[in-house]
Chain A
Amino acid sequence: MLVNTLAELRDAAFGYDDHVVLRDVSTTIDAGDFMAIVGPNGAGKSTLVKGILGLVDFAAGEVDMFGVPASALKDRWRVGYVPQRQTAGGPIPTTVKELVSSGRLARQGLFGRNSARDRMAVEQAMERVGVHHLAHTPVHRLSGGQQRRVLIARALAGDAQLLVLDEPTAGVDVDAQAAVVEVLADLSADGVTVVVVTHDLEPFAQLLTRVLWVSRGRITYDGEPTQAIIAAASEPFSHHDHGDEQPRETMPDDLRPGG
């Protein structure tokens, strides 16, 4: 079967200024993947996706996106990014539609017209995540879960083929979490490739095709979501993040591929 690779990282290293956070990263994101990036706080999960998105300094190695070097990728809207945000809007009242429309702008260029096709794409993005009926509601009046879905709609508005989400289920209640997972399941079924950074695999267990485990700035597992992996990454990592306990920084040996 021909595998369509959307992103390929070869011995890549990422960091901020002169500080390297993540090194020796070699992996691929293939079309149709539903990938989770897990690991303890501070391990470098967010840095990895920000590296793929070109948001942090690229210290070494190579990153290809859609078959071209990431720095040369012109149509960056092919990747839809859903950052981790407590609230979707800023201090000025903003409607759901205004916010989602901002995800379409990069495709339109600086002085491009807002064409019928662009408006249609924004409507469809809102429909796909179930916030269409809230189009003219200010985002600050929505619940946390609804705001997450609005951010997903914004990422979809440019017709993204690859959706990258940073902690999409953190800080929302169980019902809202289930709604976000359902939206991602539908998108995955529609052929969108999904990458989620998460500290809890459990909500995504039925959807996953791949898991990347990041600890101490390296990838320590890259493979299928086995029962053992899901169990290991479904306890709250935060239990290991403070006190005298040592954080669970690395994969147990028996979970390593071939281990």
Chain B
Amino acid sequence: MPLEFLQYDFMQRALIASILVGLAAPSVGIFLVQRRLALMGDGMGHVALTGVALGLLLGWAPVGVALVAAASGAVIIELLRSRGRTTSDLALAIMFYGGIAGGVVLIAKAPGASALSLNQYLFGAITTTSPRDLAVFAVLSAVVLALTLGLARHLFAVSNDEEFATASGLPVVQLNLLLAVLTATTVVVSMRIVGLLLISALMVVPVATAQLFARSFRATMAYALAIGLGCAVVGVSTSYYTNTPSGGSIVLTAIAVFTIAAVITAVVRTRTKMSRPQELRAQEQGFSS
């Protein structure tokens, strides 16, 4: 039976969580790509790791602490960036190192935690998604999707040309802070399924694939959400049958889809270019209307 994995509760939860992540990640990622901050999700993932470790150390819910840590990191980085105190890539680099280092050090001191628990958060572990986690993820994903889709035109305007958006009177600082917090939220929602080290891929790769053949921002967003959803579901299903980690399986699926799309669009473009001179010649000779 092709869908036999759905008889297991944990796989049902994994599938629902993957649908949420598959939609939420590219809905945020498209604005990060437009702002040329594609690696922002990575930085947030690293900071979230410190939050997870802190949660394990203090015996608090790791998801909640990770959310607070990642969102705080997001706000700090955005404020630093907008004030021009430090360049975006330097600020992100400091987040990368500080987040991972803090996570590794704190988790070593957490009672009962091990390298295995670190791995679960870094690379995703679908079997660990509890019903309570799923409910939290569903609410957070719904908020992320409602805001990214509802404010898509505003987030586009700010991501495309921050200077113009400021001059025209849009609340640029608030919109940038919102995007940063939505990125942090998506990272935390995704950490059980895709893992903190791979979540950025699900934010970026479906968008990279969609922009190969879309002609508008709106179409790119719609295609990216569909591709993200498809890759997450296929990746989770594949991981069940091949007994491989869910995060890696989802990301490899997304990269495979990107590669196929890139080859097809390259072939189509080459053919269009080759056929164009013939049409032009025909027009010049009066053979074509």
Contact = CB atoms under 8 A, between A and B. Distances in A.
Interface of A: 16-17, 53-55, 74-77, 79-81, 83, 85, 89-95, 98-99, 101-103, 105-106, 110-111, 114, 136-138, 154-155, 158
Contacts of B211: 91-93
Contacts of B163: 55, 81, 83
A155 B215 CA distance: 23
A114 to B, nearest CB: 8
Contacts of A110: 151, 154, 171
Contact-size category for B: 20 to 34
B166 A92 contact: no
Which of A55, A75, A89, A93 has the largest count of B CB atoms less than 10 A from its CB?
Answer: A93
B24 interface: no
Q: Say what secondary structure dominates the interface of chain A.
A: loop
Given A90-B34, A92-B30, A102-B165, 16 more contacts: A16-B84, A55-B166, A55-B167, A76-B168, A91-B34, A93-B211, A93-B216, A94-B156, A94-B217, A95-B216, A102-B156, A106-B168, A106-B169, A110-B154, A136-B216, A138-B216
A91 B33 CA distance: 7
B220 interface: yes
A90 B159 contact: yes
B154 A94 contact: no
A93 B33 contact: no
Contacts of A111: 150
A158 B153 CA distance: 15
B171 A93 contact: no
Nearest to A84: B163
Contacts of A85: 161
B61 interface: no
A3 to B, nearest CB: 25
B167 A94 contact: no
Contacts of A136: 215-216
B34 A54 contact: no
A81 B168 contact: yes
A66 to B, nearest CB: 13
A239 B167 CA distance: 32
